[in-house]
Amino acid sequence: MNAHTKPQKNSVKAAPQSVTTGPIIGSRKIYVAAPEHPEMRVPFREVVLTTDAEPPVRIYDPSGPYTESDVQIDLNAGLTQPRRAWLDAHGFATVPGRAVTAADNGNISEEHLVPACPAQRPILEAKPGQMATQYEFAKAGIITPEMIYVAHRENLGRAAMLEGAKERHADGESFGASVPEFVTPEFVREEIARGRAIIPANINHPELEPMAIGRNFLVKINANIGNSAVTSGAAEEVEKLVWAIRWGADTVMDLSTGRNIHNIRSWILRNSPVPIGTVPIYQALEKVGGDPIKLDWEVFKDTLIEQAEQGVDYFTIHAGVRLPYVPLTASRVTGIVSRGGSIMARWCLAHHKESFLYERFDEICEIMRKYDVSFSLGDGLRPGSIADANDRAQFAELETLGELTKVAWDKGCQVMIEGPGHVPMHKIKENMDKQLRECGEAPFYTLGPLTTDIAPGYDHITSGIGAAMIGWFGCAMLCYVTPKEHLGLPDRDDVKTGVITYRIAAHAADLAKGHPAAKLRDDALSRARFDFRWEDQFNLALDPDTARSFHDETLPKDAHKVAHFCSMCGPKFCSMKITQDLRAEVLAMGENERAALEAMASEGMAAKSEEFLKKGAQLYLPAAE
């Protein structure tokens, strides 16, 4: 919101009033000061275990202040601004901003207009010749506060290398990635300077808790929200944001396509601790009445500035959808499935001209650089079916994205690359390898990929398989897919299911890559499982509520929370209980008893060895008649 925005009569009625708050059950929100920066409070979630023999387990946490104990959230005021002092120190220009127009909200009537968030923030932009982006600072050898914050976050708040980090690191297969045993601010700077990582952080998003996207950091996930022409408004979208980050979404994309786009986005941004991404062509299309043929550079440029001034952290730009590539999709089973890709393809064919996104790419870079809006170079020609995976259209666009990446870097912008889509398992690694090669190791950000097309209603699973694989191969961020994919707009439950599914995929990838901290939570849960510490098992789970609910469906009593069995095996057939009994018996033996048992075992093995040799040391003997 800026000085040109008029207050709305229906602001009390339309404004979001409440969202989900409070700690996730069994854990607490903590803030840990970064080394040598006591003023820098980095957030984590901590699970305190029921045994004094083990320390609390610290967990990476993107949920913002919403999961603090007894937190009071005022959505009208927006979140606190942890970056404000850092931004003020740069001395960016404060500008009045463009005037908000009726077209920004789809020319909706006053009666149905959702008011903008009343929280006021100064609108900043870089002065001529002034560095603004994390990439520019990194190239200049400057470690920013955002880089320090990210390093501490990736280390889970530890000031020194974890015990056993070398062994866990060596146990993984990273496929050429350079995952460090301990992340330093200098390492973060180097990764950003090389273009291998980004910190999406618009200078107009002071509420942001900075995070990194790159193959040498923890694998991140994105959740999509957004209103459409037929459903949802400001309250629903802010709650979807809060709900998604509660369960682990590291970034959120607002893919709104209906009315009230500008004002709903203001509520999202002022109340978001995570980076927010958009696809600006969607709003630009609304401004011209939904007709792709009427799009032009001026409308798109105005939309970029509008969203950059609001604080959007990254833009999906489908600049790789070029006129000569459109015919390559003619023989596909599912054609062009990207909304942005189909919009630009139609524009190119209607005008028989090269895409204005491609031709004006230098100017797009100049706009985005002033606000440090990161590029998410869109895969408008991604395959929408297994049959179309890895075809010429897809890879022609990827090659162009590689060329544009170098242009964006030359202009000082941060860049990541979007990827497919629908790809069978045996073709996934080719996608990752080609992206690294063509795009200079810029971070890859994929939708899945979905590994089969036969499971509508379960595409969070078909895509989660592909997401885990490509995350292992080097993908930096995974865009979630919900059970409603291909079927409808996801609701609250679908968002949670999609986020949890993709947290599983990302964590599995971190384990496989040998991330030093990834295995700590697994080991803690495994020990709790063996010790029948049910509460610890629930609380260490990605979804404690569901884990506890499933257990209590058949064993609901409090006594069952300490029982040494579950309803699967019962008290007599639990393998872990039997193992514990055996271990206890052995430990209860005296030294002489244990020695006798070992001697008996040795004698038995020696006898069997002698019998084998007497029979000619033959592996296979005739069956006895």
Q: Do 426 and 572 fall into the same domain?
A: no
β-strand partners of 376: 316, 416
Three-class SS state of 124: strand
pLDDT value at 206 more than 90: yes
Q: How far apart are CA 497 and CA 502, in angstroms?
A: 9
β-strand partners of 345: none
| Angle (CA) 543 513 401, round 5° | 95
Q: Do 443 and 412 fall into the same domain?
A: yes
pLDDT value at 455 more than 80: yes
Span 65-110, pLDDT tens digits: 999 999 999 999 999 999 999 999 999 999 999 999 999 999 999 9
Span 388-414, pLDDT tens digits: 999 999 999 999 999 999 999 999 999
Q: How far apart are CA 254 and CA 234, in angstroms?
A: 12
Model pLDDT, residue 8: 42
pLDDT value at 209 more than 70: yes
Model pLDDT, residue 122: 98
pLDDT value at 572 more than 80: no
Average pLDDT over residues 294-314: 99
Give the end-to-end CA distance of the chain in Å, rounded to a whole number. 91
Q: Which amino acid is at 584?
A: A
Model pLDDT, residue 487: 87
Contacts of 21 (CB under 8 A, 6+ apart): 66, 67, 68, 71, 73, 242
Quick check: is 581 in a domain? no
Average pLDDT over residues 584-610: 79
Average pLDDT over residues 232-251: 90
Domains: count for the chain? 3
Model pLDDT, residue 7: 40
Average pLDDT over residues 527-550: 95
Check whether the bond before 570 is cis (ω within 30° of 0): no
Longest dimension (CA), the chain: 99
Q: Do 456 and 550 fall into the same domain?
A: no
User: What are the structure tokens assigned to 534, written together?
Assistant: 């049910």
Q: Do 399 and 540 fall into the same domain?
A: no
Q: How far apart are CA 395 and CA 401, in angstroms?
A: 10
| Angle (CA) 71 72 77, round 5° | 130
For helices 234-246 and 261-270, what crossing angle results, to 10°?
40
Residue 16 has phi, psi (to 5 degrees) of -60, 135
CB atoms within 10 A of CB 556: 10
Q: Do 437 and 544 fall into the same domain?
A: no
Residue 361 has phi, psi (to 5 degrees) of -60, -40
Provide the pLDDT confidence category of residue 12 given band limits of 50, 70 and 90.
very low
Least confident piece of the model among 9-13, 14-18, 257-261: 9-13
Q: Do 561 and 598 fall into the same domain?
A: no
Q: Which amino acid is at 110?
A: E
Model pLDDT, residue 231: 56
User: What are the structure tokens assigned to 492, written together?
Assistant: 């609250």
pLDDT value at 2 more than 50: no
Quick check: is 66 in a domain? no
Q: Do 440 and 571 fall into the same domain?
A: no
Model pLDDT, residue 11: 40
Q: Do 478 and 395 fall into the same domain?
A: yes
Average pLDDT over residues 437-456: 98
Quick check: is 194 in a domain? yes
Contact 223, 237 (CB under 8 A): no
pLDDT value at 15 more than 60: no
227-231: long-range pairs with CB below 8 Å, 24+: 227/256, 227/257, 227/258, 227/259, 227/260, 227/261, 227/264, 228/256, 228/257, 228/258, 228/489, 229/257, 229/258, 229/259, 230/258, 231/489
Contact 377, 416 (CB under 8 A): yes
Q: Do 539 and 506 fall into the same domain?
A: no
Q: How far apart are CA 316 and CA 424, in angstroms?
A: 25
Q: How far apart are CA 320 and CA 403, in angstroms?
A: 9
pLDDT value at 593 more than 90: no
Quick check: is 215 in a domain? yes
Residue 365 has phi, psi (to 5 degrees) of -60, -45
Contact 573, 580 (CB under 8 A): no
Contact 143, 185 (CB under 8 A): yes
Q: Classify burial at 21, counting beta carbons within 10 Å of its beta carbon; exposed 0-12, middle 13-18, buried 19 or more.
A: middle
Q: Do 568 and 430 fall into the same domain?
A: no
Model pLDDT, residue 4: 42
What CATH number has the domain bearing residue 499? 3.20.20.540
Residue 594 has phi, psi (to 5 degrees) of -65, -40
Model pLDDT, residue 404: 99
Model pLDDT, residue 569: 64
Average pLDDT over residues 204-218: 99
Span 477-532, pLDDT tens digits: 999 999 999 888 788 899 999 999 999 999 999 999 999 889 999 999 999 999 99
pLDDT value at 36 more than 80: yes
Quick check: is 35 in a domain? no
Quick check: is 481 in a domain? yes
- Residue 586 Cα to chain centre, angstroms: 47
Quick check: is 64 in a domain? no
CB atoms within 10 A of CB 500: 20
Q: Do 250 and 380 fall into the same domain?
A: yes
Model pLDDT, residue 325: 98
Quick check: is 518 in a domain? no
Model pLDDT, residue 570: 61
Average pLDDT over residues 564-593: 67
Model pLDDT, residue 187: 98
Q: Do 602 and 484 fall into the same domain?
A: no
Residue 122 has phi, psi (to 5 degrees) of -65, 145
Average pLDDT over residues 254-269: 93
Average pLDDT over residues 263-273: 97
Average pLDDT over residues 312-317: 99
Span 352-370, pLDDT tens digits: 999 999 999 999 999 999 9
Domain span at residue 548 reads: 528-576
Model pLDDT, residue 577: 63
For 477-511, give the secondary structure using H, E and C.
EEECCCCCCCCCCCCHHHHHHHHHHHHHHHHHHHH
User: What are the structure tokens assigned to 420, written together?
Assistant: 């497919």
